[in-house]
Amino acid sequence: MAYTTLYSTFESDYQQPLSPVKATGSGSSSNNSSSKGAGVVASGVISGLTDIATGFINAGRVKNTYKFNAAMAQLQGRMTRLAADVEIKNIRKKAQSLFSSQRAAYAKAGVKMEGSPAVVMANSLKEAELDAIYADISATYNVGLTETQAGIYRMQGQSAQIDAWTNAFQSILNIGVKQYTRG
C-alpha cells in the first residue's frame, strides 16, 4: 500500500514534462529569438565551465603524476645511499680481512712488521679507504641529482596547477568577451 502511494506521488510530482521557456502568444518571433539567444548564452557558459572543470581535473592529474615522480626520485636517492653504505661497509670489511691475512702470513713466515711489509699493508688499507671515500662521494653526488630531479618534478606539478588557474581565468574572460560582442 505504501509503495503504491509513494509511486503515485512520484508519478504526479516528477513525470511532468519540463518546459524551461514558455512562449507566450501565438508565434511571437521576438520572444522566440530571445529564447534562442538565451540558449546560445547558456550553451556558451556551460561549455566554458566544462572547459574550466576539465582543466582543473587534468591539472590535478598532472600534479599528482609529478608528485609521484618526485617521490620515486627521492626513493631512488635513498636506495642509492643505502647501496653505497653497504658497498662502503664491504670495502672496509674486505680491507680489514686482507690486512689480517697479510699480517698472519707475515707473522707465520717470521717477517717483522717493519719496512716493506708494513708499507705494503698500509698502502692496501689506504687504497681500500680511497675506494670507500670514492663510493661515498659518488653516492652523495647521485643522491643530489635525484633530489634535484625530485625538486624539478614538484615545480612542474605546481606549474600545472598554476596553468589550470590561468586557463580558467582565460576561459572566463573569453566567455565574457563572447557575450559582450553578441550583445
Which residues are CB-contacts of 22 (< 8 A; sequence separation ≥ 6)? none
How many degrees, rounded to 5, is the angle at CA 108 between CA 104 and CA 114? 70
Exposed (0-12), middle (13-18) or buried (19+): which is 51, by Cβ within 10 Å? middle
DSSP 90-137: HHHHHHHHHHHHHHHHHHHHT--SSSHHHHHHHHHHHHHHHHHHHHHH
Helices 116-182 and 29-109, interaxial angle, to 10°? 180
Q: pLDDT confidence of 87, banded at 50, 70, 90? A: very high
The cell for 5 is: 502511494
- For the segment 115-168, what is each residue's pLDDT rounded down to a tens digit? 777 787 888 889 999 999 999 999 999 999 999 999 999 999 999 889 888 888
Backbone angles phi, psi at 160, to 5 degrees: -60, -40
Tens of pLDDT, residue by residue over 3-49, are 444 444 444 444 444 444 444 444 444 455 556 666 666 777 787 78
Question: What does DSSP assign to residue 23?
Answer: P
